[in-house]
Chains A and B, each alone.
Chain A
Amino acid sequence: MFDVRVPIRDWIETAVRYLQRQFATVFDGFADVVDAIIGALLSGFQAVPPLLLMGAIVLLVLWLAGWRLALFSAIGLLLIDNIGLWTPFLNTLALVVAAQLLIVLVGLPLGILAASSDTAERIMRPVLDFMQTMPAFVYLIPAVMFFGIGLVPGVVATFVFALPPLVRLVNLGIRQVPTDLIEAADAFGSTRWQKLVKVQFPVAMPTVLAGLNQSIMLNLSMVVIASMIGARGLGTEVLRGIQRINVGQGFEAGLAVVILAIILDRLTASLGKRQQRRARE
């Protein structure tokens, strides 16, 4: 239709190249930190005998979410070990936990910032929409360019994809705190920090936890995708199943992902309910 093609791809490529060159040390430093976190998590997980680690996870679940989910976790984890997926499972767990740590670390302050400033919210909203709707695969390319192959770019791609719901719901939760509670906090002479910590955040907690839950689910959905850039784990097994057209192998690895997803989902959901049971009708 037109003679001139809008050179979006050239722009992006130039921009990424530029960033890559100018901020190489920053990216490398960041990669090292993430690498260290994952490494620590992984060696921690692997140092413990599988049965002991399973026991610890089951106890944690029992304490937070009750015996039903604890029973499910026990059976699920034993099954994963039984079909020989324990090591990939730990890899995936380390990836998921590391990415989620980053998400919480960045997402909470961003959400709070968005809630306390209309301008910040207006700027963030389209960026978040973009981050979440852009097909997840697309993040793999720059992630690889900046961080090479392995777990680190996996964490970064996951971070970008799974961050938005947390920021969004922290913002929403804090904005939905009833005005008279805010007025009460102010009338008693609370500082901004006191108001945030004693009133806004606790009252917004159920919404914040819903955001955490959503972002964990998105995080998990990236596991298989991230394996395409060399993030070892259950995703790699799925990928192998695809490459060999081996339904059974793919299904087993997929099942392990589902078990992890169910445990994490119910766990965060029950955190929300626990809080609500005490505070609301």
Chain B
Amino acid sequence: MAQRDWLGLKQELPANRRLVLTVLSFLTPLILWTAVSYVPWLWHPLVHITAPGDVDYFVEDMEVPKADFAKELAKVQAAGGELPQGERVNPVYLPAPHKVARAFYTAFTTEPRLPNEPWLHESLSHSIRTICWGFLISSIFGLPLGILCGTYRFFSRLQEPFIEFFRYLPAPAFGALCVAILGIDDGPKIAIIFIGTFFQQVLVISNTVRKVDPALIEAAQTLGAKGWKLMRRVVIPASISDIYTDMRILLGWAWTYLIVAEVVGTMSGITYFINQQARYRNFDNVYAAIFMIGIIGFTSDLFLAWIGRIIFPWKRRSGSPSKLGAWFAKLLPKKPAPAVPVEA
């Protein structure tokens, strides 16, 4: 196993190598970021003035581009005055990793500046609520409609051409309309997530259902299944685990609509928080909040994937036979069964 190539074409890698690569995929951008942040000669395009010296417009704590600083330094040197001092820094919008890491904690403990401003945890839960409502309402309609369209040509013909057209209309374009109809609170935001999710959902799910192996449906028919029973006992179970995967992906898409949705009407949720923090130039908090969205989305997806493996045990196949399969293989009779006398 371990002798196999790291770059085997379409070959599954051993588990330990997969883990190494997964860790590396996160580590690489982190290392780049760390390097740019802490190695002084990497990028650092600004100079943070610690002592203005004889340059008239320099003041302490000011940040000037590297080239300007060099020019002024040369001038003062030529004139023989007091030299300005400073250290190279990155722009304020690229805080160092440790600052962002600290912000993960401090962002929650910083009191809002304005009296009616929400805390970070309130902003986050507001966003999650918006997503959940939008996705739930979309699924209540999209899931059955998708399954119907995938099963019956009738519904597919009746619905899909319009939906196919509608999904090209960008959801944010409906912002003003949603506000006019649903007011400025959460209504229009949920509506935007609904519009962004629903049409994709119907198409994706109907496509998944259409891909159910027709041989399974025929087999069920020859076993006496028809009509609603065929749908409930075969079509739905045959596609349910793929539908579940679709739903996970769709939920991911819903997250991408969140920021757009939250600027509709009164800005709210995590978008409001990010906006305010950017205004206060607390970019460490901005990054922390953005990463939190990523972490919430990513971990909830991992969680759902884990749930999926539990509720769909028949999908638990790996490249190598499962432990259970290997165990069963041992029970297999080794010898062909003896021929039993047959009489015509």
Does A pair with B?
A: no
